[in-house]
Amino acid sequence: MAGPEAAGAAAAAEGSEAGNGGRDGYDGKCVFCRIARREEPGTTLLPCEDEDLVCFRDIKPGAPHHYLVVPVKHMGNCKTLKSEHIPLVKRMMEVGKAVLQKNNFSDLNDVRMGFHWPPFCSIAHLHLHVLAPASQLGFFSRLYYRINSYWFITAEQLIERLQTENAAS
């Protein structure tokens, strides 16, 4: 790992808070913050109907359709989220579904959406992986985006965990 990913991994290991990166929610060292502000010319943003989120193709696709949905404002990884972030996670999922449909993928039962659980995330900015068709994940992608693993949590599992934590509080 080199460059922005190494810096992101270091920040993930330190455990960024689920808040903003700076006063304005921007961290210039974060590649996803730069992408959200259109400062990374090699990354094309896909149409997104939520002004607080951006969507783009993963640079190492694990499926024919592999998109990342990212908040515009810098937020820590999924482990830092609280119950008040449930609506954000749900909006991220809706954006992921909409992008799939806009790209002519309609079988929403064959989709995997989720997050890598720290310390297994390379970028310390919250990002939802949207992969489809899940039935066509290759060998390594099935491992890397494996449901019920120590390193990957589905969006539904994250929401359930956040609701449970809220009920316990």
Buried b (16+ CB within 10 A) or exposed e, 101-124: eeeebeeeeebbbbbbbbeebbbb
Backbone angles phi, psi at 65, to 5 degrees: -115, 110
Q: Are 45 and 38 in contact (CB under 8 A)?
A: yes
In the numeric block, which tokens belong to residue 63?
């499926």
Q: Sheet of 128-132: strands edge to edge?
A: 45-46, 53-57, 65-71, 128-132, 112-116, 152-154
Say which residue the tokens 């404002």 belong to: 73
To the nearest 10°, report the CA torsion of 58, 131, 67, 31. Answer: -50
- Of the residues 66, 74, 125, 127, which is catalytic? 127
Q: Does the CA dihedral 139-9-111-78 come out positive or negative?
A: positive
> Does the annotation count 127 as an active-site position?
yes
| Catalytic site positions | 127
